[in-house]
Structure 1
Amino acid sequence: MIKLEHIFKWYNIAGARSYVLKDINLTIEQGDFISIMGPSGSGKSTLLNVIGLLDEPDEGKYYFMEEEVLSLKAKKRTAISQANMGYVFQAYHLIDELTVYENIETPLLYKQHGSSERKAIVADLLDRFGIVGKKDLFPAQLSGGQQQIVGIARALAASPKLLLADEPTGNLNSKQGEEVMQLFKQLNDDGVTIIQVTHSEKNAAYSKRILNLLDGQLKKED
């Protein structure tokens, strides 16, 4: 599904390169469940953003479904990500001006689902996550945990082939966190490929593979 070859990401500081990612080589199969772990500043979120086509490396090749995506125009890359990927961000990234219902519905508008289909999908997600009563509220009216739940529901709305999650349970209580990880496991069992960044050994235990990053480099796999 995904192949990264010699991926580098750096910033120029005082005329010298400061590497965020250094010579990343990685193959991810369809149906994988991967946890990326490592200390703060090791490049975990940057690697996730590169895989999710939200950030571009300075060097290297990235194949998604056997297509070299870095050579494509930005519009085509965006189309690939919208058609195949769902994102769960640590900082929510909900749209402040939209209600809970409208936030969850947003990815379905990009995929041009009909009105009745959108309603059915959003209703199912509101029910699954127990937030039917919050559907007309705006993000500012929700707690951090509730915003994260809405973010996860939005990520799943378009039935992505690849789910990318950056500390998905960081703002949830332990019960909510466990429910989210159980849901991820169910999605993975159903064929969704999942890549999560986590500091939690408990969350990482749900995955099939653990990648450890240190100073922008992948260490030997667990």
Structure 2
Amino acid sequence: MPDYVFPPRPQPILPVVGQTAVYPVGRIFCVGRNYAAHAAEMGQEVDREKPFYFTKSCHATVLSGAVTPYPPGTDDFHFEMELAVAIGASAFRINKDRAMEVVFGYACALDMTRRDLQLSERKKQRPWDLGKDVENAAVFGPLTPAEAFGDIGAQRIWLQQNAETRQDATLAEMVWSVPEIIAHLSGFYHLVPGDLIMTGTPAGVGPVSPGDVLDGGIDGLEPLRLTIGDPA
């Protein structure tokens, strides 16, 4: 064992439905503007030529049921409900016809966003890191193995804020399908087990306040819950 200068941070993990083994989280890739209605509500258009991405640190991972503090540096912290895809085999330059072979499973996810910082940096053509790669801002429910979930189709994806529905759509509304995303992303990265892909959010995103309870779900997956705590 190496003699560390300080103890390394714990490995983020996700529980797996029906298994005692857990899934170690590596990289988190996020697809931007993958629902046309969400792009429109943000004043943007979908790039139908190719998807684009941003990333989150694996150490931003939070499990469903957590209470997380309202983050510093923002007055406009938003929820974004998403389908997360967990990679279970290596893939590099894989064809979209074979892309689903490398999927381990799926989970409900929240891409929590400092919207004011995302927009201010976007106007200056700067990276979105301050808005997107936020501590405690990658929230996941338990993973459901791909074979148990079945084919991705028109499953409902939804989010409630304090029991009021805010987002309500279907996975069929994604501009870029999961195999298309995996195939495209694998042209730039060697995807490996542990990589997670958050596939974008439908319309209806909005701000949260301390004390808010977010409940989200996708048909066929375990739901998730997040409670927003007092400011950090």
Q: What TM-score bracket applies, with the shorter chain setting the length?
A: under 0.3
TM-score by length of 2: 0.24
**Greater strand share, 1 or 2?**
2
